[in-house]
Chain A
């Protein structure tokens, strides 16, 4: 008996690597048939959010450019590098700046990890914005994907909030003054309540600012609040919403695609065959239809390929590209760190991160209009798109409906001309306050270059609506105007605004002081 047990023990010991591997991986080997490929996807917690087969259109790089995945990849990179930075970072006004300096100059690979964190965060904002534009121009928000458009909008806002809260943490001059400005933008409803004299009774601005800073100024209370938001609350909210976002992609039928892109035909085994149409009255297995002897005879599944390996290779390569881009940027370009925060001397110019500079240009006309009113109008407008444009058509195709492309270009040049004209006028001639120093603030809140741009863009969109008799085209024109306006304002504020927010052609012309 004893001898048998010993032999069994040795046998098990010998098989250990194989049995552990079998225990971890349910399939236990590289899939060899479509059936096993299907199992590899379906029986894996991390992969089963994908469908087992994907449409060939989904894999076409020029449909999505992998932007959503890139945003996800850069989020994962920020998550990992962020956890590493938390090891050394100390959220206190006395220690924060020194700990960032330690990370930069002393900690092994600290400088590189911080650079990666910053660059992937920037990449995330950029790809999230581009992803939104992609979804819009391929009309992928239409029924049944309205809800996922809203979730995406929520993700955009959380992404921006993550960037904003992260900006304060180094506690240098840039951080301190950017957050002073940001929190006073939260305070800016006061500009309106002051103008009509009700601040004493109703002060939403002051409430928002106190909630954000925990005080009337940017100090320890603000730092710890921003830290908690940045490392816990917002990432948790982001991960939750990302889960919903991905789940809904799957439940809404994968990436948006035209009803029947190949006219009921499919490539199947080297010949064209009628596409398999699922019967409404029949229940099919969840795992997918795979090649085999079973019916439907003589019919191919619609133009799909197995997710394993096609989709997963594509996803892996997008991840690789994102990591590579981030590493190269982080290697060659350092995240900035200015002098220690000093409440007595503002940074001049005190610029927010680039994706907020459009808003910063707008607040240089009116804090309330530019900092709150216009952003809220834009977000509400974006949220309403899928509910106002309900006519099916063009899903999953760039500029898919009739005359979308010409309307895009017309709107592009219209918005370009209007925005450049408006900015040139403002830079050269100033605005109401310069001409009528005693004018009531309400006039400036209502009429300023920012609000005029919004009105002109809305009017243009209404004009398109009337002339083209199409809600989608009106939406395309408005969204294009928004993109052009946002880009130009960002560009102006990034490149051409210098000390005292004056206009300079190049930073080299800034006065020395």
Chain B
């Protein structure tokens, strides 16, 4: 037996170690199970699909801010598009400015298509999915992003 060999573990200490290990494994699993509770399984909150009214009420070249819904609806020659007015930095509501949008909280600036032109915002303002309800009203689904430049034609 060389002196590099580990000292022999006798049965008693092996079993003690094993049971201690089992104890901590069980407690750890129980703790992890308990801590699952605060992680919400279902996210509460209203449905974020908004009926904005019949398309005729928005003339070409118009823009309409919906503060409660947190979006701005635009209509140009190619069709409708909606841009979210929640800043991609830390969630404040952006306001219209000369260049496009400006965030009151940390000074992020966006152009009128939502692209970042200054400040800390990491992403452009999302474009939201526009569609129509069965009765013909425009619907914006604020949970669905669409690529920039997507228009909805009526």
Contact = CB atoms under 8 A, between A and B. Distances in A.
Interface in A316-374: 343-350, 360, 363-367
Interface string B131-142: 000000000000
A367 B116 contact: no
Contacts of A220: 44
Interface string B101-137: 0111111000000011111111100000000000000
Interface in A136-193: 177, 180-181, 183-185, 188, 191
Chain A interface size, as a band, is 35 or more
B43 interface: yes
B93 interface: yes
Interface in A51-84: none
Given A177-B92, A180-B90, A349 B105 contact: yes
B5 interface: no
B71 to A, nearest CB: 11
Interface of A: 177, 180-181, 183-185, 188, 191, 194-195, 207, 210-211, 214-217, 219-221, 225, 343-350, 360, 363-367, 430, 433-434, 437, 441, 444, 499-502
B115 A214 contact: no
A127 to B, nearest CB: 29
Contacts of A345: 67, 93
A26 to B, nearest CB: 40
A269 to B, nearest CB: 56
A233 to B, nearest CB: 11
Contacts of B33: none
Given A221-B40, A501-B105, A180 B116 contact: no
A217 B107 contact: no
B104 A215 contact: no
18 contacts: A181-B91, A185-B90, A195-B122, A210-B39, A214-B40, A214-B44, A215-B44, A215-B45, A216-B43, A343-B70, A348-B105, A363-B89, A363-B90, A366-B120, A367-B90, A433-B118, A433-B120, A499-B104
A379 B119 CA distance: 27
A346 B90 contact: no
B68 A344 contact: yes
B72 to A, nearest CB: 13
Given A211-B39, A215-B45, A500 B67 contact: no
B117 A210 contact: no
B120 A363 contact: yes
Contacts of A433: 116-121
B69 to A, nearest CB: 9
A437 B117 contact: yes
Given A350-B105, A364-B106, A219 B44 contact: yes
Contacts of B40: 210, 214-215, 221
Q: Which of A185, A214, A220, A364 has the most CB of B within 10 A?
A: A364
Number of contact residues on B: which range applies? 20 to 34
A207 B38 CA distance: 11
Contacts of A177: 92, 105
Interface string B90-101: 111100000000
A177 B103 CA distance: 13
Given A181-B92, A345-B67, A363-B120, A350 B44 contact: no
Contacts of B45: 215-217, 219
Contacts of A188: 90
Contacts of B118: 430, 433-434, 437
Contacts of B38: 211, 214, 225
B91 A501 contact: no
A322 B92 CA distance: 38
B152 to A, nearest CB: 24
Contacts of B91: 180-181, 183-184
A349 B104 contact: yes
A344 B39 contact: no
A348 B107 contact: no
A2 to B, nearest CB: 64
Nearest to B118: A434
A229 to B, nearest CB: 10
Contact of A364 (B68, B115, B119): B119
B119 A350 contact: no
A441 B116 CA distance: 11
Contact of A437 (B89, B104, B105, B115): B115
Contacts of B89: 184, 363, 367
A215 B67 CA distance: 21
Given A349-B105, A364-B106, 9 more contacts: A180-B92, A184-B89, A185-B90, A216-B43, A217-B45, A344-B70, A433-B118, A500-B102, A500-B107
Nearest to A441: B122
Contacts of A500: 102-104, 107
A188 B123 CA distance: 12
A367 B120 CA distance: 7
Nearest 8 interchain pairs by C-beta: A348-B104, A501-B107, A364-B106, A344-B67, A184-B90, A184-B91, A346-B92, A191-B122
A221 B38 CA distance: 11
B44 to A, nearest CB: 5
